[in-house]
């Protein structure tokens, strides 16, 4: 009796356990999307035992990898591969992938998204097209990095009907994987650190900390170079100098989360209040050093200053991979890529994209960073070699080329290839030339006689950029290639005591205009002394550099910007904050002169700043409020209402002067006629 009762009890229990296990497996295979209430962050790590401290948890988002706009899919198909850098040592464990996406569709269709890690499909999500801000958290098995990376693959597919000939564009679908999507990791608290791995795992928001004392020129150059390198990697930088402001990092350690990165600039002894142990470097004192350390239990980087900021330049250099498995290193000279000054192929710049498959339309985009062009050159021509596989029919593919949304030309492919030689108008490229190649071909499978067949197309690495010499700078964007070999930054002497009043704006400018390989040198000049740069420069102060003729003069009283009718549109003299940036040349050296409008000489601190066209810009805490060209613009002019000169008087009283001259000229003419008449009357026959 008892045995029968036990069997009767065990059978339902086993069935319940089996159903629960099956449900858990199904849930793991098809995770259910939920609404995203906050950006993706890993779950807090459980409290550790007394014998082992808790690991630090963090997340690498798509924005951290440079995909600030996320990943966009449409027309019922698409595939994207994302490579996540992984440290070689330290025991980093990737625990989960948090997917946040927007899914919309105008019409019903069977659509799905597959997510694979290192080629293994981890999940297949059904999409209904009726939601935004959905999130899915997928646990990850133990992963092993291949060549220092983990590969994430997103495969988007769908079908509207059983008929394969239906045009996918008719569905009106769109799938956006948001940039907040992240892969979560856990880093053991006692794991050894390495330089390259610490930077790869560092969060998007980073603090660059300076010693709480008077700053040297080499430390300021190193901090600016580090901010530029971090910004090039998609990170947002903030400067701090007070040690007590860094105490907030203790809360990160209490929560066992790594939510803000930290880069220290200066000797290790200056940060002894927050650093557990002093970091030492070998090698000469003049060389810059870089080390991975811990501040309040959170990984951080320590940079020792050199005159040209070489240690900070390593953060934005491909040579950083040489520091894998190194906790600290001394940085010698960093050699940049020397390009041919006349023509460079896509293969040399790493611009050749992977082949794409298309049925009737292919859209290939490439971003060309013109700041990396050879020194003193501008992009003049574009030579494109496009290979398009024939479809077996009589139709030929048409290749159209756009740069910064302007059509430059198009050509029909002859056979399987198309060559285009296109001129780039001066001023079109700016600091970034967004190249878009559109390939179109009539689909031979019309009227559903055959199933649509995709064919490959590719921009070949033999495509090239052709340069020509640039004589001076006409726009702000022209400074990028002129600063390739380095730039000097001249600051007032008080900048050493209060660097945070100058560095945010300078960091934004050098990040926007200069290449990451350009050395930065900082020099100080007295407030009443004109800077005398020896190379391309940025000068901050009330006095322009020696030999410069700025478009806007501040020694003529109040400055105003007027329209064609002479009416004042903007009175710069009425501003008590902000700055004016001008493109100038000092003894044939191109540069930027920045004059503060604030009483204490401090500069504005905009989060973003875009300087492209023009040679005069008014900058405030939001960005560039006005930019104009004194060389080309005829709608706006610079005026000095308080400056009195003969030209000013002539312009102000022109109608009266012209009337007076007309009356005086008329009187002289009449007087001459009268004298001629009287003379003729005296010498007449009578």
- Domain with 564, as residue range(s), is 476-643
Shared domain check, 483 and 631: yes
Whether the predicted pLDDT of 644 surpasses 80: no
What's the token pair of residue 513?
């205009």
326: CB partners within 8 A, 6+ apart: 194, 195, 196
Whether the predicted pLDDT of 606 surpasses 70: yes
The domain boundary, picked from 187, 213, 243, lies at 187
Shared domain check, 497 and 638: yes
What is the residue whose two structure tokens read 């503060």? 596
Flag whether 124 is in a domain. yes
Q: Which residues of 162-198 are buried (b: 16+ CB within 10 A; e: fewer)?
A: eeeebebeebebebbbbbbbbbbbbbebebebbbbbb
CATH number, residue 298? 3.40.980
Asked if 464 contacts 419 with a C-beta cutoff of 8 angstroms, the reply is no
The domain boundary, picked from 165, 187, 209, lies at 187
Flag whether 26 is in a domain. no
Shared domain check, 391 and 277: no
Shared domain check, 635 and 499: yes
* CA pair distance 633, 629, nearest whole angstrom: 5
Flag whether 163 is in a domain. yes
Tell me, what's the pLDDT at 370? Answer: 85
Shared domain check, 223 and 105: no
Tell me, what's the pLDDT at 601? Answer: 86
Flag whether 104 is in a domain. yes
Shared domain check, 167 and 55: yes
Shared domain check, 172 and 51: yes
Query: Residue 171's pLDDT band (boundaries 50, 70, 90)?
Result: confident
For residue 145, which of 215, 62, 206, 201 has the smallest C-alpha distance? 201
Flag whether 18 is in a domain. no
* CA pair distance 176, 670, nearest whole angstrom: 84
The domain boundary, picked from 283, 298, 331, lies at 331
Tell me, what's the pLDDT at 510? Answer: 93
Q: Which residues of 441-472 are buried (b: 16+ CB within 10 A; e: fewer)?
A: bebbbeeeeeebeebebbbbbebbbbbeebee
Shared domain check, 84 and 67: yes
Flag whether 501 is in a domain. yes
When divided into structural domains, the chain yields a total of 5
Shared domain check, 484 and 463: no
Query: Residue 39's pLDDT band (boundaries 50, 70, 90)?
Result: very low
Shared domain check, 350 and 292: no
* CA pair distance 483, 208, nearest whole angstrom: 24
Structure confidence by residue, pLDDT tens digits, 311-361: 888 888 878 887 877 888 888 766 666 666 788 899 888 888 888 888 788
* CA pair distance 223, 360, nearest whole angstrom: 50
Flag whether 547 is in a domain. yes
- Axis-axis angle for helices 503-513, 217-232 (nearest 10): 50
Q: How many CB atoms lie within 10 A of CB 410?
A: 15
Shared domain check, 577 and 462: no
CATH number, residue 411? 2.60.120.260
At residue 183, φ and ψ (nearest 5 deg) are -110, 120
* CA pair distance 160, 287, nearest whole angstrom: 63
Rounded CA Rg of the chain:
33
Structure confidence by residue, pLDDT tens digits, 471-503: 778 889 889 888 988 899 999 999 999 999 999
Flag whether 19 is in a domain. no
The mean-pLDDT minimum among 587-591, 610-614, 678-682 falls in: 678-682
Shared domain check, 134 and 42: yes
Structure confidence by residue, pLDDT tens digits, 390-446: 877 667 889 999 999 999 999 998 878 899 999 998 878 888 889 999 999 877 555
For residue 199, which of 324, 43, 91, 336 has the smallest C-alpha distance? 324
């Amino acid at each position: 009796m008892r045995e029968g009762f036990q069997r009767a009890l065990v059978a339902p229990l086993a069935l319940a356990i089996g159903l629960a296990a099956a449900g858990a497996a199904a849930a793991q295979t098809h995770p259910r999307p939920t609404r995203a209430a906050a950006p993706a962050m890993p779950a807090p790590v459980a409290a550790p035992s007394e014998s082992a401290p808790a690991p630090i948890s963090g997340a690498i988002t798509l924005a951290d990898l440079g995909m600030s706009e996320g990943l966009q899919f449409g027309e019922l198909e698409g595939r994207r591969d994302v490579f996540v850098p992984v440290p070689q040592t330290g025991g980093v464990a990737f625990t989960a992938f948090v997917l946040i996406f927007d899914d919309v569709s105008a019409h019903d269709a069977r659509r799905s998204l597959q997510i694979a890690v290192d080629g293994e499909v981890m999940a297949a999500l059904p999409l209904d097209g009726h939601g935004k801000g959905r999130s899915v958290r997928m646990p990850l098995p133990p992963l092993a990095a291949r060549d220092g990376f983990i590969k994430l693959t997103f495969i988007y597919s769908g079908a509207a009907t059983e008929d394969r000939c239906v045009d996918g564009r008719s569905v009106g679908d769109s799938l956006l994987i948001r940039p907040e999507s992240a892969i979560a990791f856990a880093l053991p608290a006692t794991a050894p650190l390495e330089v390259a791995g610490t930077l790869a795992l560092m969060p998007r928001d980073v603090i660059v900390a300076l010693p709480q004392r008077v700053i040297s020129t080499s430390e300021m150059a190193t901090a600016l170079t580090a901010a530029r390198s971090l910004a090039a990697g998609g990170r947002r930088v903030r400067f701090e100098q007070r040690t007590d402001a860094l105490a907030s990092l203790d809360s990160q350690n209490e929560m066992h989360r790594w939510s803000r990165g930290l880069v220290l600039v200066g000797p290790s002894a200056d940060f002894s209040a927050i650093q557990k142990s002093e970091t030492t470097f070998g090698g000469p004192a003049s060389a810059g050093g870089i080390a991975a350390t811990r501040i309040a239990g959170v990984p951080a980087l320590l940079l020792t200053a050199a005159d040209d900021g070489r240690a900070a330049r390593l953060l934005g250099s491909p040579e950083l991979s040489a520091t894998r498995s190194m906790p600290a290193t001394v940085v010698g000279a960093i050699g940049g890529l020397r390009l041919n000054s006349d023509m460079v192929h896509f293969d040399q710049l790493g611009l050749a994209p992977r082949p794409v498959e298309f049925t009737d339309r292919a859209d290939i985009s490439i971003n060309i960073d013109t700041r990396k062009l050879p020194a003193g050159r501008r992009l003049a021509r574009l030579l494109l070699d496009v290979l398009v596989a024939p479809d077996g029919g009589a139709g030929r593919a048409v290749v159209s080329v756009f740069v910064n949304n302007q059509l430059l030309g198009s050509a029909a492919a002859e056979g399987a290839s198309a060559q285009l030689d296109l001129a780039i108008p001066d001023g079109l490229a700016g600091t970034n030339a967004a190249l878009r190649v559109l390939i179109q071909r009539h689909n031979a499978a019309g009227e559903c006689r055959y199933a649509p067949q995709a064919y490959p197309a590719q921009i070949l690495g033999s495509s090239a950029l052709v340069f020509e010499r640039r004589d001076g700078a006409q726009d702000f964007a022209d400074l990028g290639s002129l600063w390739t070999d380095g730039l000097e930054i001249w600051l007032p002497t008080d900048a050493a005591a209060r660097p945070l009043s100058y560095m945010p704006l300078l960091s934004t400018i050098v990040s926007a205009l200069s290449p990451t390989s350009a050395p930065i040198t900082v020099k100080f000049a007295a407030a009443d002394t004109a800077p005398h740069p020896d190379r391309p420069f940025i000068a901050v102060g009330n006095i322009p550099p020696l030999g410069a003729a700025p478009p806007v003069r501040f020694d003529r009283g109040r400055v105003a910007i007027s329209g064609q009718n002479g009416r004042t549109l903007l009175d710069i003299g009425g501003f008590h904050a902000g700055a004016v940036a001008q493109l100038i040349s000092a003894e044939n050296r191109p540069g930027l002169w920045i004059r503060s409008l604030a009483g204490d000489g401090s500069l504005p601190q905009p989060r973003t700043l875009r300087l492209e066209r023009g040679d005069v810009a008014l900058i405030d805490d939001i960005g560039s409020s006005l930019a104009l060209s004194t060389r080309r613009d005829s709608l706006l002019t610079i005026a000095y209402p308080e400056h009195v000169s003969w030209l000013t008087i002539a312009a102000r009283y022109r109608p009266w002067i012209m009337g007076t001259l007309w009356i005086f000229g008329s009187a002289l003419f009449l007087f001459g006629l009268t004298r001629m008449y009287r003379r003729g009357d005296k010498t007449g026959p009578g």
